[in-house]
């Protein structure tokens, strides 16, 4: 029996975002060939018994920063280790961010990300591109990226003043251009000016530890920027995707905007759903620093549960991780000044289990919503559905055999990531990936990884995702303001 003859997954419960059915799944040459009961397949096929297990689409992590050079150092999970860890956790695709320095070419940055990632990735991946400055060259390069390079999402930073931040008029121009190109505008929503002022204030008060990171940028700093981004995007009828929604206030802003008919999507991340910002007040510096990321985790301990409720009820739409890992000795760059602690946390390996535990096991969402928020909604928004995010004929064979009852304990001692701690240390989770199949190959089975760098491929994404743009196009047609037809004014006009 070899996998080249195909794989038959027998007797499992196939879970898609809209329904669950007991079915067999036959996979060959990297694709799902058929889904149905009692499938008759050729001899020599590897048979996997999935009785009492779920067969789900491989997870899609919408937000990673593998080997990102950032704040004077480089994230330790590279595209090889990071994607291996993803597979071990049941994630079969990541979307990473190209982040050019201010003033540098977006295309050059994209090319160097491809050169870095292509030979290393163990699962499929795609790239968002950050717009860190504005000008005609940026516009031209965004067009090339959207039309020729498979990029249909661009992220703008409202934080990281003087580094990546755009001002409002630049956001307006960038959103308007995203809309022309049929791309999804993404924002890191925090008020960068207020963060800079707040950081100065905390340091002047003698607060140099990780708690200063949260104190200098409280919830309203995130909520204000989120509201501002939604307002600007609405002014140009551009769909908006808010990355890493970390606070109750920002989540409420997204939720209200959706209820008011805005085309906006909110992305909570594993860290925000699984843990909280009380850790910044931990007495051990290294522990507290390990949780530093922007926007920060929130000290209100009801935040993770609140974000999960909104995710379960479609106020928030998808989940990523913002996986951007720095080991303790890298975090220590900021041992005397919290503004120098490299920002970022882990999550790529644990996201699926965290969401199962806090979302499904807790009774907040069902298995179908789990699939929606861990894969299919991402595939719809970023326009590669049903190639991915669905167990169906002709879809890519990115499949996970998921044991909803089995438990595992998260620990840096056993995780596959390069980082030397884990923000979810000691957490017990129901929901374990038993087998992960990527592009038709069993890459993780019974705790063992069998991967090769370069196995994954770059997924090209077309602009104008229907899921996002159908409403936008219709609004353009029917909501364009028109002038009132009047008789000309014929009375007196004062002379000036």
Which residue lies nearest ligand URP, judged by its C-beta? 343
Please choose which of ligand URP, Zn ion, none residue 296 contacts, taking the beta carbon within 5 to 8 angstroms, the exact cut-off set by kind: none
x/- letters, 195..224, toward ligand URP (CB under 6 A): ------------------------------
Q: Which is nearer to ligand URP, 267 or 357 (CB)?
A: 267
**How many C-beta atoms lie closer than 10 Å to residue 17's C-beta?**
22
Residue appearing with tokens 């992305």: 267
Of positions 65, 380, 388, 408, contacts ligand URP by CB under 6 A: 65
**Quick one: CA dihedral 41, 47, 53, 57, positive or negative?**
negative
**How many C-beta atoms lie closer than 10 Å to residue 218's C-beta?**
17
Q: How far is the CB of 444 from ligand URP (least distance, A)?
A: 26
Please choose which of ligand URP, Zn ion, none residue 344 contacts, taking the beta carbon within 5 to 8 angstroms, the exact cut-off set by kind: ligand URP
Terminal-to-terminal C-alpha distance of the chain: 92
> Smallest Cα–Cα separation from 352: which of 303, 406, 298, 295?
406
Residue appearing with tokens 């694709």: 31
Find the Cα–Cα–Cα–Cα dihedral 469, 265, 95, 449, rounded to 10°.
-120
Q: How many helices (H) and strands (E) does the chain have?
A: 16, 18
Q: How far is the CB of 71 from ligand URP (least distance, A)?
A: 9
H or E stretch covering 386: none
H or E stretch covering 476: helix 466-478
d(CA 319, CA 21): 24
Which residue lies nearest Zn ion, judged by its C-beta? 188
Of positions 12, 198, 277, 294, contacts ligand URP by CB under 6 A: 294
x/- letters, 161..190, toward ligand URP (CB under 6 A): ---------------------------x--
Q: Which is nearer to ligand URP, 18 or 193 (CB)?
A: 193
Q: Which is nearer to ligand URP, 57 or 272 (CB)?
A: 272
Q: How far is the CB of 243 from ligand URP (least distance, A)?
A: 7
Please choose which of ligand URP, Zn ion, none residue 209 contacts, taking the beta carbon within 5 to 8 angstroms, the exact cut-off set by kind: none
Q: How far is the CB of 322 from ligand URP (least distance, A)?
A: 5
**Quick one: CA dihedral 171, 146, 142, 70, positive or negative?**
positive
Please choose which of ligand URP, Zn ion, none residue 165 contacts, taking the beta carbon within 5 to 8 angstroms, the exact cut-off set by kind: none
Q: DSSP readout, 312-353?
A: HTTSS---B--B----HHHHGGGTT-GGGSPP-B--TTTHHH
Q: Which is nearer to ligand URP, 65 or 84 (CB)?
A: 65
Q: How far is the CB of 307 from ligand URP (least distance, A)?
A: 16
Q: Which is nearer to Zn ion, 62 or 279 (CB)?
A: 62
Please choose which of ligand URP, Zn ion, none residue 41 contacts, taking the beta carbon within 5 to 8 angstroms, the exact cut-off set by kind: none
Q: What residue ranges bind Zn ion (CB under 5 A)?
A: 188, 322
Q: Which is nearer to ligand URP, 293 or 352 (CB)?
A: 293
Please choose which of Zn ion, ligand URP, none residue 59 contacts, taking the beta carbon within 5 to 8 angstroms, the exact cut-off set by kind: none
Q: Which two tokens stand for residue 375?
A: 């894969």
Residue appearing with tokens 């190109």: 181
Q: What are phi and psi of 375, to 5 degrees?
A: -150, -55
Q: What is the layout of strands, in order, in the sheet containing 184-188?
A: 59-64, 91-98, 124-131, 153-157, 184-188, 240-242, 264-266
Judge residue 400's burial from the number of C-beta atoms within 10 Å of its C-beta, 0-12 exposed, 13-18 middle, 19 or more buried: buried
Cβ neighbours of residue 292 under 8 Å, at least 6 residues apart? 210, 213, 280, 331, 334, 338, 341, 342, 343, 344, 345
Please choose which of Zn ion, ligand URP, none residue 431 contacts, taking the beta carbon within 5 to 8 angstroms, the exact cut-off set by kind: none
Q: Which is nearer to ligand URP, 295 or 431 (CB)?
A: 295
Total number of residues binding ligand URP (CB under 6 A)?
8
Q: Is 293 among the residues that bind ligand URP (CB under 6 A)?
A: yes
Q: Please confirm whether the linkage preceding 386 is cis (ω < 30° from 0).
A: yes
Q: How far is the CB of 348 from ligand URP (least distance, A)?
A: 13
Q: Which is nearer to ligand URP, 8 or 418 (CB)?
A: 418
Which residues 296-325 are close enough to bind ligand URP by CB under 6 A? 322, 324
Q: Is 237 among the residues that bind ligand URP (CB under 6 A)?
A: no
H or E stretch covering 458: none
Q: Which is nearer to Zn ion, 194 or 443 (CB)?
A: 194
Q: Which two tokens stand for residue 334?
A: 């900021």
x/- letters, 326..345, toward ligand URP (CB under 6 A): -----------------xx-
Q: How far is the CB of 353 from ligand URP (least distance, A)?
A: 21
Q: Which is nearer to ligand URP, 322 or 396 (CB)?
A: 322
Q: How far is the CB of 293 from Zn ion (least distance, A)?
A: 8
Q: Which two tokens stand for residue 344?
A: 């970022």
Please choose which of Zn ion, ligand URP, none residue 183 contacts, taking the beta carbon within 5 to 8 angstroms, the exact cut-off set by kind: none
Q: Which two tokens stand for residue 134?
A: 């504005």
d(CA 292, CA 486): 60
Q: Which is nearer to ligand URP, 48 or 68 (CB)?
A: 68
Report strand pairing: 7-15 vs 46-49. parallel
Please choose which of Zn ion, ligand URP, none residue 343 contacts, taking the beta carbon within 5 to 8 angstroms, the exact cut-off set by kind: ligand URP
> Interface residues with ligand URP (CB under 6 A)?
65, 188, 293-294, 322, 324, 343-344
């Amino acid at each position: 029996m070899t996998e080249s003859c195909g794989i038959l997954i027998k007797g499992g419960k196939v879970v898609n975002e809209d329904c669950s059915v007991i079915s067999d799944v036959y996979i060959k040459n990297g694709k799902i060939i058929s889904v149905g009961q009692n499938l008759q397949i050729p001899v020599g096929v590897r048979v996997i018994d999935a009785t009492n297990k779920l067969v789900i689409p491989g997870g899609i992590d919408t937000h990673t920063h593998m080997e990102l050079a950032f704040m004077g150092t480089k994230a330790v999970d590279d595209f090889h280790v990071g994607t291996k860890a993803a597979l071990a956790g049941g994630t079969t695709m990541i979307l990473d961010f190209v982040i050019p320095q201010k003033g540098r070419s977006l295309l050059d940055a994209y090319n160097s990300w491809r050169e870095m990632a292509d030979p290393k990735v163990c699962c499929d991946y795609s790239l968002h591109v950050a717009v860190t400055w504005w000008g005609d060259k940026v516009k031209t390069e965004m067009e090339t990226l959207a039309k020729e390079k498979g990029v249909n999402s661009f992220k703008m930073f409202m934080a990281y003043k003087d580094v990546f931040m755009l001002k409002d008029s630049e956001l307006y121009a960038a959103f308007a251009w995203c809309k022309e190109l049929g791309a999804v505008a993404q924002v890191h929503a925090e008020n960068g000016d207020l963060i800079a002022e707040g950081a100065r204030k905390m340091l002047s008060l003698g607060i140099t530890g990780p708690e200063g990171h949260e104190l200098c940028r409280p919830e309203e700093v995130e909520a204000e920027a989120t509201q501002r981004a939604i307002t600007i995007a609405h002014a140009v009828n551009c769909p908006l995707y808010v990355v890493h929604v970390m606070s109750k206030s920002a989540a409420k802003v997204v939720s209200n905007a959706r209820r008011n008919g805005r085309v906006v999507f909110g992305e909570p991340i594993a860290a925000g759903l699984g843990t909280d910002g009380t850790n910044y007040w931990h007495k051990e510096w290294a522990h507290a620093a390990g949780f530093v990321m922007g926007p920060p985790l929130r000290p209100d301990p009801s935040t993770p549960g609140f974000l999960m409720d909104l995710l379960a009820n479609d106020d928030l739409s998808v989940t990523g991780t913002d996986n951007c890992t720095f080991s303790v000795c890298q975090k220590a760059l900021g041992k005397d000044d919290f503004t120098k602690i490299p920002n970022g946390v882990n999550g790529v390996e644990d996201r699926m289990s965290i969401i199962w535990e806090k979302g499904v096991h807790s009774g907040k969402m069902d298995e179908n919503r789990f699939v929606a928020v861990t894969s299919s909604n991402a595939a719809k928004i970023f326009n590669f559905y049903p190639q991915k995010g669905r167990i169906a004929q002709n879809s890519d064979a990115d499949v996970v055999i998921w044991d909803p009852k089995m438990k595992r304990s998260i620990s840096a001692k056993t995780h596959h990531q390069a980082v030397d701690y884990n923000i979810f240390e000691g957490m017990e989770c129901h929901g374990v990936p038993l087998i992960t199949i990527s592009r038709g190959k069993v890459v993780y089975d019974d705790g063992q990884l069998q991967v090769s760098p370069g196995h994954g491929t770059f997924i090209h994404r077309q602009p104008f995702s229907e899921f996002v743009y159908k409403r936008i196009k219709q609004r353009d047609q029917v909501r364009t303001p028109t002038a009132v037809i009047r008789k000309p004014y014929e009375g007196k006009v004062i002379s000036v």
